[in-house]
């Protein structure tokens, strides 16, 4: 991923208003991020731990999503992130909902998926982090192929949201 400014990140969000995007808590360490090691940028709002954000480079430019974590804890056992395909203990993966519409006319249209609770998919993809207590599947893919798979998955999620919004 290339480096991006706070302004570029704020403008990238496709599922919230400009006013909401201006109030997003951008990571404090934005200028010290190792951008080259990021498949996409993901973070949890420190003031609202149920809210998360993902920003990725796509064929349509930089695009971001606002996510809301489901407050209910899942049952114990392993769960898999649908973006980086990392297995976690039950608490390491969260069901998130992504708003595509805020009007009753559109039935409050949302997309749901399972993501790493800490949104650190880039670190799991590059094996800089490993979930405790869960053995990962054996993969023969190269690092470049894992990065490409994760990027394709996050771009697909963003496109699925955008398609539902007509963007």
Where would I find the H helices in 13-142?
18-23, 121-125
Cα separation, 88 vs 98, in Å, equals 21
Q: Give the tens place of pLDDT for each residue, 39-76.
A: 999 999 999 999 999 999 999 999 999 999 987 765 66
pLDDT band at 110 (very low <50, low <70, confident <90, very high): confident
Q: 86 and 131 in contact (C-beta within 8 Å)?
A: yes
Give the pTM: 0.88
SS3 content of the chain, % helix, strand, coil (to 5): 30, 25, 45
């Amino acid at each position: 991923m290339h480096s991006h400014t706070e302004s570029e990140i704020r403008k990238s969000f496709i599922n919230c208003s400009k006013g909401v995007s201006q109030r997003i808590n951008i990571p404090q360490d934005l200028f010290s991020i190792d951008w080259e090691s990021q498949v996409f940028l993901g973070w949890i709002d420190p003031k609202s731990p149920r809210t998360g954000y993902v920003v990725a480079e796509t064929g349509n430019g930089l695009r971001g999503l606002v996510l809301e974590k489901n407050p209910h804890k899942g049952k114990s056992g392993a769960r898999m992130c649908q973006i980086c395909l990392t297995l976690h203990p039950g608490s390491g993966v969260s069901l998130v909902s992504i708003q595509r519409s805020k009007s009753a006319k559109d039935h409050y249209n949302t997309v749901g998926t399972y993501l790493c609770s800490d949104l650190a998919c880039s670190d799991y993809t590059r094996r800089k982090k490993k979930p405790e207590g869960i053995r990962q599947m054996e993969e023969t893919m190269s690092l470049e192929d894992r990065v490409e798979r994760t990027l394709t998955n996050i771009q697909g999620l963003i496109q699925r949201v955008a398609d539902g919004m007509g963007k």
